[in-house]
């Protein structure tokens, strides 16, 4: 029963995703509402929920070489609505159209689940809207609530004998996420080169993949709990560690499965998206559990989670963008540090065990929602 | 004029401090209200502001070998009120008294500036209260507001020709804060040993000092903008870098002065204490400016500050405690990373220049105040 629930959750929450979905959502919504002649447009009003606004604000738009909401709208005007979230496939970007649209675009941000509405005023009013949820496939809240009652020992039991179809998903995750790590991130973005081979490799591998995803590279990622960057952070530090040390495929698969289980558990105990950086705080805590298992076995997972809880919780999510790679570099450092430190329960938000640590981090994430408004104000007032 | 203001601010905001002031505040307040016979006490009610509660909750109490509010109260009952914040000087801790007091102590937390009131019910009611501010000495809000209008170039100009008395304060800072770095932190707390000598030395030196301060070691720190840990984070990464590389005392003094100026600037643009970790976000940003100046001269200070702004802002302050050393280890990593990365202005809360970055981080810190309530709830409900 328990194991079947876990299997079902994993199948739904580890999903292949191409590009940051927010810009695809905007492009697709615009494509559904576009008039024949884009130069007939007098005004476009885009209504976005906070998360979509924040995450589309400066992320790379596939096939355009550009970043942010304007190219997503222009790409939508150029793309085919039939292509769904892959609306930018095969488009040829048009700079003139961007110039034309730029001053005719108005963006409103609302409080809502994933939402995008486009109202285009041309020869007549064209409208379309797309609603969504941040989890790729749908899982009932009943199942989620049951999953939330599980304990670390349930996850440990599960990874002792992983069903074949989950093993295959994890193998695919290794391949897909590793593939996103090339090319390495450019030196003019980050040229830190630590003389510690293990940590350096973990950081390079993880941040390169996040960077490539954020510039809109045409390669998929295996997303976990609704986020590509979270999937990368939950897996690549472990994959990189394995690569440079033991090369033990079987242990790697167990460690990655544990990481995914922990990441999903963390997401269910806070939310899919939040004002707190999920990649570091949910994907990162997954990587802590997986790596701790990989290196030390099951014995010090709880200690490592406590150390991580004493460390980066709170770090904000100010949207998907290349800068995420820096947050994740610090995340990888902190993941690694957690494996070699011990913090007593009396320290701040550190919980008495695995479950309480994750619940406490979730409480912090939920209390941070006013921070989202400040972030959105800052973004709106940027003079770009 | 400008330079005189800066000198005055530095003289007031770089202050020698022994131990975490919050437990001293509690001990002193209790000492002022204590009856002759502590075993006559029926009940002690302690009313604390949030910051004092949070920061005293699991910090080391000097001369007791213990951590947190109960030993601070017991220490206050044993100490002399004449010793002020150094109330724990010369006491001999009494375990029996701790057992006696433990179940007679009630703590209330209120929303206020630094505040502690003790109401002791014994043969009669004894009361005392201490009010304070988190800055050691007082600076008018007019001066603070003028300081907030300064720009990076004013700080750069200032450090080109630092007045002799400030040079002496900085020299004292080097000596005092370096001295707190020994002994190294114990391996059972943290045994990360990076093969990168520079980063490893910076982390060890800074975290050891923070750890020693948090266990209540009887050595002072030079606090900056009201916080000892902030002073350590703003100075030791630079001191350690200098030690292991160039050993250039003159450049070190300039870099540390710039760091202090930036740290104070950050504190004035948010607040002395907050739900966001000031050590990492204010002391850390100081260290970024100082180190960037030390290594590259004045040219890439702004780029380094932008990279740091893209990184750890938001990380919570859940009170003074040994776990701070882990946050600060990640802080040092992120400080170092910022020196070697570049993030464009369109990235999230990254500002267009030094001043805007610091203002934006301040906005985040201020928006995080609801998080403090969650942290205090978590602490109150701990089953210690």
Number of structural domains found in chain B: 2
Q: Does residue B14 sit within a domain?
A: no
Is A10 part of any domain?
no
| Residue A6: inside a domain | no
Which chain B residue is nearest to residue A214, measuring alpha carbons?
B347
| Same structural domain, B199 and B309 | yes
Residues of chain B with pLDDT > 90, as a percent, come to 89
Q: Is residue B223 part of a domain?
A: yes
Length of chain B: 384
Is the domain of B110 the same as that of B166? no
How confident is the prediction for chain B on average, in pLDDT?
Answer: 95
Question: Does B231 share its domain with B366?
Answer: yes
B99 lies in a domain?
A: yes
- Point out the domain boundary residue: B91, B108, B131: B131
Note the pLDDT tens digit of each residue in A126-151.
999 998 765 545 788 899 999 999 99
Cβ density class A231-247: b for 16+ within 10 Å, e for less: bbbbbbbbbbbbeeeee
The answer on A232 and A107 residing in a single domain is no
List CB contacts (< 8 A) between B366 and chain A. Answer: 374
Looking at every residue in chain A, the average pLDDT score rounds to 95
Is this model's pTM higher than 0.90 or not? Answer: yes
| B171 and B126 within one domain | no
Query: Is B308 in the same domain as B200?
Result: yes
What does the pLDDT read at residue A226? 87
In a domain, B11, yes or no: no
Q: Do B337 and A326 touch (CB under 8 A)?
A: yes
* Inter-chain residue contact B189 with A352, CB threshold 8 Å: no
Q: In chain A, how long is the greatest CA-to-CA distance?
A: 68
Find the domain containing A257 and state its range.
Answer: 137-380
User: Residue B136's pLDDT is what?
Assistant: 47
A146-182 pLDDT, tens digit per residue, is 999 999 999 999 999 999 999 999 999 999 999 999 9
Mean pLDDT of B317-341: 97
Pick from A67, A191, A196: CB nearest B194? A196
CA–CA gap between residue A268 and residue A359 (Å, rounded): 10
Q: Is residue A8 part of a domain?
A: no
- Verify whether the Cβ–Cβ distance A189 to B360 is below 8 Å: no
Q: Looking at the structure, do residues A116 and A175 belong to the same domain, yes or no?
A: no
Partner residue facing A326 (CB), from B277, B310, B378 = B310
Probe site for chain A from B56, B296, B308, B326 (most A CB atoms < 10 A): B326
Separation between Cα atoms, residue B265 and residue B259, nearest integer Å? 10
Contact between chains at B330 and A326 (C-beta distance less than 8 A): no
CA quadruple B219, B225, B226, B232: dihedral, nearest 10:
-30
Residues B204 and B127 in one domain: no
The residues facing A108 across adjacent strands are A47
Would you place residue B231 in the very low, low, confident or very high pLDDT band (cuts 50, 70, 90)?
Answer: very high
Q: Which of A131, A151, A171 is the last residue of a domain?
A: A131
CATH number of the domain enclosing A95:
3.30.1330
Last-in-domain residue among B84, B113, B131:
B131
- Evaluate whether A114 touches A134 at the Cβ level (below 8 Å): yes
Tell me the longest C-alpha to C-alpha distance in chain B: 68
Whether residues A151 and A222 fall in one domain:
yes
Claim to verify: residue B169 and residue B260 sit in the same structural domain: yes
pLDDT at B108 over 50: yes
Quick check: is A370 in a domain?
yes
- Based on the fold, state whether residues B166 and B307 are members of the same structural domain: yes
Looking at the fold, whether B180 and B88 belong to one and the same domain comes out as no
The reported pLDDT for the residue numbered A136 is 47
């Amino acid at each position: 029963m328990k194991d079947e629930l876990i299997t079902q959750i994993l199948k739904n929450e580890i999903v292949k995703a191409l590009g940051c979905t927010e810009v695809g959502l905007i492009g697709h919504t615009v494509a559904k509402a576009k008039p024949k002649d884009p130069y007939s447009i007098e005004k476009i009003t885009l209504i976005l929920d906070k998360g979509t606004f924040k995450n589309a604000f400066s992320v790379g738009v596939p096939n355009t070489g550009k970043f942010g909401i304007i190219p997503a709208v222009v790409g939508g005007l150029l793309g085919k609505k039939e292509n769904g979230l892959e609306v930018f496939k095969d488009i040829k970007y048009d700079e003139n159209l961007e110039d034309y649209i730029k001053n005719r675009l108005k963006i409103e941000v609302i409080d809502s689940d994933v939402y995008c509405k486009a109202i285009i005023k041309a020869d007549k009013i064209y409208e379309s809207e797309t609603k969504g949820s941040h989890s790729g496939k749908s899982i009932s809240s009943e199942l989620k609530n049951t999953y939330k009652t599980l304990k670390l020992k349930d996850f440990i039991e599960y990874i002792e004998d992983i069903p074949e179809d989950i093993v295959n998903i994890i193998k695919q995750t290794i391949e897909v996420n590793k593939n996103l790590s090339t090319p390495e991130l450019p030196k003019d973005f980050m040229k830190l080169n630590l003389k510690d081979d293990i940590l350096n490799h973990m950081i390079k591998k993880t941040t390169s993949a996040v960077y490539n995803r954020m510039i809109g590279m045409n390669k998929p990622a295996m997303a976990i709990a609704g986020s590509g960057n979270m999937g990368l952070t939950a897996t690549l530090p472990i994959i990189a560690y394995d690569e440079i040390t033991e090369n033990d495929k079987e242990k790697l698969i167990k460690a990655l499965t544990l990481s995914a289980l922990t990441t999903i558990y963390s997401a269910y105990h806070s939310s899919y998206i939040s004002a707190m950086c999920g990649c570091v705080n949910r994907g990162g805590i997954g990587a802590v559990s997986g790596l701790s298992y990989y290196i030390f076995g099951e014995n010090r997972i709880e200690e490592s989670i406590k150390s991580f809880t004493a460390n980066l919780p709170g770090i904000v999510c100010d949207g998907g963008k290349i800068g995420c790679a820096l947050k994740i570099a610090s995340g990888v450092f902190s993941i690694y540090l957690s494996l070699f430190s011990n913090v007593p329960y009396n320290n701040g938000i550190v919980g008495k065990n695995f479950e309480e640590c994750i619940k406490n981090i979730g409480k912090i994430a939920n209390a941070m929602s006013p921070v989202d408004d400040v972030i959105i104000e800052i973004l709106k007032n940027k003079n770009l």
